[in-house]
Amino acid sequence: MFTPLDWLLSLFSLDIGIDLGTANTLVSVRGRGIVINEPSWVAIEKKTRKALAIGAEARQMVGRTPANIIAIRPLRDGVISEFEITEAMLEYFIGKAHEQSFVPLPRPRVVVGIPSGVTEVEKRAVYDATMSAGAREAFLIEEPMAAAIGAGLPITESRGSMIVDIGGGTTEVAIFSLGGIVISRSIRVAGDEMDEDIIQYMRTKYNLLIGERMAERAKIQVGSAYPLPEERMITMRGRNLVTGLPEAVEVSSIEMREALAPTVQVIVDTIKDALDETPPELISDLMESGICMAGGGSQLAGLTERLSEELNMRVWLAEDPMTCVARGAGRVLEDYDNLRRLLVGLHRGSTHH
Ligand code: ADP
Ligand code: MG
């Protein structure tokens, strides 16, 4: 029942949308926009598994930790593999968003994006983690749904629309109509895999062992999925596996495209596969509205051109593609009466741990 106290609480408490991504966690607060945008990293003490640093601070420690500390990405594969650590991360970020207000506020209402196709146990884990992190009410939404809302797609209309969200750990493809997901695909191939491709390529072709951060930098600076107007060079630093000595190697954007090609192809094929199963009426809608891309990986140079050419459709980047999920999750609370049906239902009574 909705009591006057509920009403008073809702007036003063924060409404929060969270994108619990495999690479980055973002928090949007109603009326304030994105207030937190940090890498999903946690540094923990090995023995006790206690969290010592979270977010940007933890990422700084990657590859530099002393023996008793490890830095991990608890969501690496799009699921909560490390429940307690994810909980600590959520608690920290919700607390941080809450602290930014000047007056003490009642506990917030929170909507969290979850990858589509997670199990009942995993859903329950995110719900429990959000509640124990201090939420007054917690709701879940499938990430592609949140991304589509954040991108401003008309998903509640009968006319079909489509989103492709390429993150760090997963690529999610979804086609919507009447507020529901009609066709979806979720694969564990995305930005991380591209970094891995570059590491492999450098190892095989140049006997050069490079780190994950070097690989990611190369991908962002010179990686592509389509010939660039002007091809470029980048210097890769690492360790030569034959001599064991540090070495710098110049590589071209053409080589980087070659390195990324298999992963890009997997993404292209996954989208084709989803389109193959789409009813013809919706296909005709999509030919008008095009395919909207979100997530950090969608910003790979030339990816929209490549997809347009292969799919014979208009493909476009959402505005601010990396914040769509957090903004979309937050927006559900702004229009709760109309949009609540888009939230994920939880089966009561299921337990976890
Ligand atoms: P997640 O939702 O899994 O947290 P994000 O949507 O935050 O992921 O995207 C992170 C991924 O996007 C990383 O793999 C990162 O390297 C990649 N990325 C970010 N910017 C670019 C860019 N300009 N070009 C290619 N990849 C990018
Ligand atoms: Mg994401």
Give the closest residue to 341 by CA, choosing from 155, 185, 124. Answer: 155
Judge whether 112 and 89 are in contact, CB under 8 Å.
no
- 233-240 and 208-209 as β-strands: parallel, antiparallel, unpaired? antiparallel
How many angstroms from the chain centroid is the CA of residue 86? 15
Distance of CA 90 to the CA centre of its chain: 15
> Are residues 330 and 147 in contact, defined by beta-carbon separation less than 8 angstroms?
no
Decide: 71 and 60 in contact? Cβ < 8 Å: no
Residue with tokens 């071209």: 252
Ligand 1 centre to CA of 314 (Å) is: 22
For 320, left (φ over 0), alpha (ψ -120 to 50), or beta?
A: left
Q: Is 219 in the pocket of ligand 1 (CB under 6 A)?
A: yes
Residue nearest to atom 24 of ligand 1 (CA): 300
Query: Which atom of ligand 1 sits closest to the CA of residue 21?
Result: 4
pLDDT by residue for the chain (353 residues), tens only, comes to 567 876 766 667 789 999 999 999 999 999 899 999 999 999 999 898 889 999 999 998 887 778 899 888 888 754 556 778 888 898 899 888 877 766 667 889 999 998 877 788 888 988 998 998 889 999 999 999 999 999 999 999 999 999 999 999 999 999 999 999 999 999 999 999 999 999 999 999 999 999 999 999 999 999 999 999 999 999 999 999 999 999 999 999 999 999 999 999 999 999 999 999 999 999 999 999 999 999 999 999 999 999 999 999 999 999 999 999 999 999 999 999 989 999 998 866 544 44
> Beta strand 137-142 with 42-45: parallel, antiparallel or unpaired?
unpaired
CA of 296 to the centre of ligand 1 (A): 3
Q: How far away, in angstroms, is 191 Cα from ligand 1 center?
A: 6
For residue 70, report the phi and psi dihedrals to the nearest 5 degrees.
-125, 145
The response to whether residue 150 sits with its C-beta less than 6 Å from ligand 1 reads no
Residue 296 near ligand 1, beta carbon < 6 Å: yes
By alpha-carbon position, which residue is closest to atom 25 of ligand 1? Answer: 300
Which ligand lies nearest to the CA atom of residue 191 in the structure?
1
Question: Is the distance from the beta carbon of residue 91 to the nearest atom of ligand 1 less than 6 Å?
Answer: no
End-to-end CA, the chain: 31
183 phi/psi in degrees, rounded to 5: -135, 140
Residue 261: CA atoms inside 13 Å, Cβ hemisphere, count?
A: 10
- The Å distance, Cα 243 to ligand 1 centre, comes to 33
Residue to mutate (ligand 1; options 18, 59, 166, 304; most atoms within 8 A of CB)? 166
Residue 167: CB within 6 Å of ligand 1? yes
Residue 109 CB less than 6 A away from ligand 1:
no
